[in-house]
Structures are given as C-alpha cells and as structure tokens.
Chains A and B, each alone.
Chain A
Amino acid sequence: MEWLETFWATYSTLVLSVGTNVLLALSIYLTLACGLLTVANAAFMGIGAYAAALLSLHGSLPFYLSLTLGALLPAMVAAMLGPPTLRLSGVYLAMATLAFGEIVRITLLNTENLTGGALGLNGIPQYTRWFDVFAIVVGALYVLVRFAGSRIGRTMIAIRQDEVATELMGHNVRAYKLYAFTLGAGLAGLAGGLNAHFTFFISPNEYGFDRGVEILAMGVLGGTGSPWGAVIGGILITLLPELLRSLGDYRPLLNGVILILIILYSPNGIWDLKRLIRSRHPVPVS
C-alpha cells in the first residue's frame, strides 16, 4: 500500500482536480445537451465555492452541510435567472450568461467585507477527501446517464434540434431548459465547494472568463452525445497540460486550440473522432 501512499502524496491535487473538472464538464454537458450555450457555469462554481467556504469558515458548519448549501445557492440563482434569460436564443443567451459571469466576478471583487475582495479567501478548512469527490461524481454520472437513456434524454436531443417542433409534441420546453440550467448550476456549485475545500484559497479571478472557457472546452471536447463524453472531456482537459509540462502560461492556448480543432473537425466532440476513424463518413452536425 506504500505505492498508493506515495502516489497520493504526489498526485492528490491532480486526481481531485480531475474529479471536480468532470463535475464541471457534466454541468455544462447538461446545458449543451439542451442546445443552450451558457458560459455562466464558472460563475455558478464561484458562487458555490464562496458560499460553501464562507459557511465553513464563519458559520463553522459541518462540511457536507456547507457543501449542500453551497450547491443550492447557485441553483437558486439559476432558477431566478433562468426564466427571463432562457427565452433568448443562442447568441443572445451566450452573451447574457457572459455578462452575468462578469457581474458575479465584479461583485465578488467589490464586496471585500464579505468575500475578501481581490485578496480572496484564505484558510478554508481542507475537508475534501477523495471519496467525497468520487461519490459525488459517480452519483451525478449515474443520474445523468439514466436521464440520457430515457425519454428525458430523447426530448433534450429533440429540443436541441428543433425547439418549436418539440414544443408541439406536448413537451414543456421552457421547463426542460430551466431544469437543465438549474441542475447544471447546482453541479457547478458543488464542484466549486469541493474545490474550495482542498485548495484552501480562492479568489474571484479563478471563476472568470478563462475558467468559463475551460469548462466550455471540456463540454465541447466531450460532445453532447452522452455524459461519458463529459467525463472524457474533463479528464483530458485536466491531464493534457500536465502531460505537456512545459506549457505553464500557455495552458489557455491549449484550451483554445482544442476548441478550434474540435469545432472544425469533430463538432460533436470526441465520440466523433472514433466514428471518423472507423467510417470516414462526413459528420452530421446536430
């Protein structure tokens, strides 16, 4: 077992990062699967992180409680934000969520008394253990895989392709989009809380545009075909920069290039690469 201990000593941060990134990827998979392009998940992650951290620090709440509440807050925000913004179509929705993300970041920066402002929050108790992350990831994955294989998943695919036609089949499209958005926000908040309790320091800039793009990259890389794609997307985006050690500052560059390449050559995510290699058929973009 000594091997396991040394492995953990060196790579614990990485493994936990993979875990939380998979959660984030799942959160955006959910919204992308409904055809919603939202870049607000980083902001939701931030809200969840700060909420959970503050509850642990100042409220001295037990970990699981602050984690749960930390996930509930972004979900509630999403539930309020959803109805007016989700009726916007593609482009406008993306921009509204972009604006929202920035508003959150600026608010975090400007509320020093509560959040520590630009200096961030320090000394967050390190409660997160590997099995916390593992259990939550497995739980979320189970739920999403079950959804994907059911009529819910089918309806989401239909919504993605043609909202009006789906509505005319008797589905409450607005409700579906709101649930996806809210659940995604909750997952992101959960990831934020978990993350905060092992990095023990958080600051507003961690939840800004760069993070939002990274989450998007994971979702796009994984594709909207299945939650497993999100898992792969999350793992790859976390591990690739580690494998290419010399990257350092250039990490966003990698994310950017991945986004471009995937969109150009394999728009449905990494699943399509397998299909491309096997069949050499043109990719239908759904």
Chain B
Amino acid sequence: MLILSSITKAFGGLQVLQNINLAIPEQRIFGLIGPNGAGKTTLFNITTGLLAPTSGNIEFFGHSLTGLAPHQIVRLGIARTFQNIRIFKDMSVIENVMVAMVRQARYSALRVLVPPALLGAQCVERSEARSLLARVGLAAKAGILAGSLSYGEQRRLEIARALATRPKFLLLDEPTAGMNGTEKHQLMEDILKMAESGLSLLIIEHDMRFIMGICQEIAVLNFGQLIAQGTPEAIRANPEVVEAYLGNESDGVIMFAK
C-alpha cells in the first residue's frame, strides 16, 4: 500500500505539485497520465527519494518515507525505471542486472576477501540474473555490452534491472516510448504477468491505448493537480480530462478511441 498525502512541491515560485492525495493499493496496475509538464516524473522523483516534497508525506506499507535516502527507499521495496533510459552502457547486460541485486546474498566486505565464499554467492547472483533476463526476453544477450542493445531492448533491460531489487512496487516512467506495436504488446503481457505474481505497478504513460488496456485504475495530473481518478472508462468519459489534453471545442477524440 502506497499512500501519498498532501504532497506539494514548489521550486522557488513555481508550483509543480499541489496537494496530491493518492492511495495505491497492493497488487494493482495503476496508471498516471497527464500532459507534458504536469508533474508526473516529479512525483516519481519524490516517491523514490530523489527530491524532497515541500510538504506532505508518503507512507509505504506503514513506513514513512519522509527523509529517507533513495537507497533506503529501494530497500523497502520500491523500484523505478527512467524516462530517458539510464542503463550502464559500458557494462554487460547481465552485469547491469547483477548490480541491482542488493537484497540478495547480504555479506559484508570482509567476506569478500575470502575467495571460496565469494565464488558460491556469485553463482547464485548470476543464475538469478539470468532468469530475470529470461523474463524480459533478453537471456540470449546476457554477455553483450548493454550500450549495443536496441532501444526497446534497453528498456526491457531497465525493467529487468528494476525487478532485480525484488520490489513490491514498480514505478515505470513511460516504458513504451520508442517501442513498436509488437514490443508494446509484449510489454503489456509482461506487465500483466508481473502483476499476477504479486507486484504492484504505477505507470506513467502517454500511449492511451496501452494504459487503458492494462490499468485497473488511472489518475490524471494536470498542472500539478490531480484532476481525476477512476477506472479507464470513467477517465475516458471525463470532460475535464479530455479538455486537459485537447483543449476546448475538441473534435479529436482519436486518442481515446479503442
């Protein structure tokens, strides 16, 4: 359960988020949409601890996230991907995933000094990394330099990497950007599978078909304010939402067509 209470964020005089109240239950695929500049990524940044809210509080399974450093929040079980992909281009695909495996095989620096112990633990890491890659369809490319993957593959790698932290909550920031139809379809299936295995997801997206297709609930942000929240059908029919995207006197309902 992720609860955002009265989250407000201002950069100097600029109000980026105003009094956001959001309660995201477990095992749900939740969508977050809104025009560019609405504050969606800022909300992600605040949730993952990269930015501090000007006021307001976030609770995650009863834990208050206020004042926690990003790595502590990750260890509590929240993972994210980025709008502009931030994989480690000069490391191999499998190493990218292995870096994220903090919660497994917790041993101290001192144990590292002893070779045999190290060998055992690394094998576990490597095999788990491999299975994660298989989940996103990148198993065959494990040894390749991450920078040489295609754009869509890099996005999938980012997701695998986020999954490696064993999150309870996954935040995806525009995961379908740059993907073609087939890849998007595949991603929809992957996300549904993740949800089935107990993962909750919060997805920022601009592709309406995608988001309407998989989300059980959607929240709409505009100019830093939550203007609507509900099922996909309710959102689609909401005149304020339509206005936010298309302005008044719209005739272009294309975006919302099935």
Contact = CB atoms under 8 A, between A and B. Distances in A.
Interface of A: 142-143, 146-147, 149-152, 154-155, 157-158, 161-162, 164-174, 284, 286
14 contacts: A150-B118, A152-B112, A157-B88, A158-B91, A158-B99, A161-B90, A161-B91, A165-B82, A168-B74, A168-B80, A170-B165, A171-B99, A172-B71, A173-B71
Contact of A169 (B90, B118, B147, B165): B165
B125 A151 contact: yes
B79 interface: yes
B63 interface: no
Contacts of A158: 88, 91, 99
Interface in B129-158: 147
B100 interface: yes
Interface in B81-98: 82, 86-91, 95, 98
Given A147-B109, A170-B103, A171-B102, A165 B71 contact: no
A142 B113 CA distance: 8
B246 interface: no
A146 B115 CA distance: 8
Interface residues of B, number: 34
Q: Which of A142, A154, A161, A170 has the most CB of B within 10 A?
A: A170
B35 interface: no
B48 interface: yes
Interface of B: 48, 50, 69-71, 74-75, 79-80, 82, 86-91, 95, 98-103, 109, 112-113, 115, 118, 122, 125, 147, 161, 164-165
Contact of B99 (A155, A174, A284): A155
Nearest to B166: A170
Nearest to A162: B86
